Structure 1
Amino acid sequence: MMNRLTDKVALISGAARGLGAEFVRQLAAEGASVVIGDILDEDGRQLAAEIGKDARFVHLDVRDYNEWTAAVALTQDTFGRLDILVNNAGVVRSAPIDEHSPEDWNLVIDINLTGSFYGIRAAAAALKASGRGSIINISSDAGLQGYGGITGYNASKFGLRGLTKSAALDLGPYNVRVNTVHPGLIRTPLLEGMEFPQDHVALHRMGEMSEIAKLVVFLASDEASFSTGSEFIADGGESAGMAHTRH
């Protein structure tokens, strides 16, 4: 199915590489105009050139609210509207809780959680004016269950669920939908060539970036018109419980 997003305009953070870039490509393939937000200027401009005339790049550090307002303004000035916001920018820092530095905690919370709040706050008026807005917050399996050694990341992704539900209630009267996507372990360029045990995953494999992007496209489209405040999980069954290993 193609052209589900014709005449819609999307702003995506953390979009120059990896999973975010795959979101850009699939949203554009479905007919959306896209604005690529990232701090990786060269990669972002190259991706915009790859997509063509219906794509723009904007430098976007999600920790800076002024950069968010500038990104929304560029989107509206260029394409006349904003219908879709994908909060994808994120980082992880690994350490046991008694070794997790305050600096790393603040960095992770600022990017993963506060950055998403800034995005929603900056885009809210434009999405309300759209009358058919969709906000998609990219969370993680770590927003559904605890993992040792990633305290800040766990907290930020659980917090994103609460932010999503609150925003869904506030923006629902304006027909703006807000949902989270919870990927499991996904095969990205950073993980190419690396092997991870998957016996604990029901499907016994890693996910592909295209599989998560298809879910984002669905939530961005009118096919998901009655879904808001919800969690969409794409983790191969990892969060379902411990998979049985057959012999």
Structure 2
Amino acid sequence: MQLRNKRIIVTGAAQGVGESTARALAREGASVVAMDVDEDRVRATAHSIAAETGGDTTFQVVDVSDRGQVFDAVAAAADRLGGLDVLVNVAGVQRAKPAEELAPEDFDFLLNVNVRGTFYTNQAAFTAMKASGGGHIINFGSDAGMTAIRQLGGYAATKGAVHAWTRTIALEFAQHGVRANIVVPAMKTAMTRAGAKEGRAGVYAKVPLGGDLGDPDRDLAPVMVFLAGDGSRFMTGQTICVNGGIGMAR
């Protein structure tokens, strides 16, 4: 098992990419704390993973936009796990609208989860990782944060912020042995199915590898296992695109 003894938190773990990631990490022997705002779903996910793997997978109900909740939850998880090696911060939301129609409440919704949620989870994880002697923060970006996609202006702005923030903490946290990288996925999930028809659908039809989105279990999970393991120890500040070539970072 590649991740035996790894202590990992996965946010947004109730479904989709988060669930797939948590399951893959647990299969490789990691102890996983699955966090999500949806109590029923995250409980069911954690119980399912624990039953399948026989490993140590538990859950916590956390609203990542609430700083107090995040710091308390991460501290409790690190205490239970005996430290923290990896944070996989999947939690994110989308709202598709033409740019001129975005209202203040749309910006608040996107900023609170995608930007503040990233800041808070990363800060809390850094505190725990510094005490453990190092770790790896894996944030989720988006092709929308690197290129223009119609109707996703607000979402794109928040993901662009995640990209810039992650590069900055990679630089600042390195002296403490804490790495930070960005994963840019293009997977079939509830979020992508609900994306703007004129925006995401048109772009995704042009995916070079097969003309369609990837499968989280088959295409993304193995990459997440690698990033959570020791093989990625000399990588930080990087953008890892698992998107079939729809966008190419350098």
- Fold conserved between structures, TM > 0.5: yes
Looking at structure 2, the residues matched to 229 and 50 of structure 1 have their Cα atoms a distance apart, in angstroms, of 33
What is aligned with 2:215?
208
Residue 47 (structure 1) aligned with residue 45 (structure 2): yes
Residue type at the aligned position of 2:169: A
Looking at structure 2, the residues matched to 20 and 199 of structure 1 have their Cα atoms a distance apart, in angstroms, of 24
**Is the helix fraction higher in 1 or 2?**
2
Cα-to-partner distance string for 1:171-215 (whole Å, 9 max, x where unaligned): 11111110000112x1225668x9956552211222110212222
Residue 10 (structure 1) aligned with residue 8 (structure 2): yes
Residue 141 (structure 1) aligned with residue 143 (structure 2): yes
Residue type at the aligned position of 1:116: T
- Percent identity over paired residues: 38
C-alpha change, 1:18 and 1:175, in structure 2 (3 Å) is: same
- Unpaired runs of 5+ residues, structure 1, are 242-247
Residue type at the aligned position of 2:246: E
Name the SS of the counterpart of 1:239 in structure 2. Answer: coil
Contact 1:171 1:177 in 2 (8 A): yes
What is aligned with 1:33?
31
**What value does the CA root-mean-square deviation take over the aligned residues?**
2.0
**Deviation (angstroms), 1:136:** 0.4
Residue type at the aligned position of 2:188: R
Looking at structure 2, the residues matched to 94 and 188 of structure 1 have their Cα atoms a distance apart, in angstroms, of 15
Looking at structure 1, the residues matched to 99 and 192 of structure 2 have their Cα atoms a distance apart, in angstroms, of 25
Residue type at the aligned position of 1:114: R
What is aligned with 1:245?
none
Contact 1:135 1:220 in 2 (8 A): no
- Unpaired runs of 5+ residues, structure 2, are none
Residue 117 (structure 1) aligned with residue 119 (structure 2): yes
C-alpha change, 1:190 and 1:119, in structure 2 (3 Å) is: closer
Looking at structure 2, the residues matched to 213 and 144 of structure 1 have their Cα atoms a distance apart, in angstroms, of 22
Select between 124-133 and 111-120 the one with higher mean Cα deviation: 124-133
Aligned counterpart in structure 2 of residue 20 of structure 1, from 13, 18, 21:
18
TM superposition score normalised by structure 2: 0.89
Aligned counterpart in structure 2 of residue 106 of structure 1, from 105, 108, 111:
108
Question: Which aligned runs of 4 or more in structure 1 are off by greater than 2 angstroms?
Answer: 129-132, 188-192, 194-199
Residue type at the aligned position of 1:216: M
Q: How does 1:217-232 map onto structure 2 within 5 Å?
A: 217-232=225-240
Looking at structure 1, the residues matched to 78 and 206 of structure 2 have their Cα atoms a distance apart, in angstroms, of 45
Residue type at the aligned position of 1:207: G
**Deviation (angstroms), 1:88:** 0.7
Looking at structure 1, the residues matched to 87 and 242 of structure 2 have their Cα atoms a distance apart, in angstroms, of 19
**Deviation (angstroms), 1:161:** 0.8
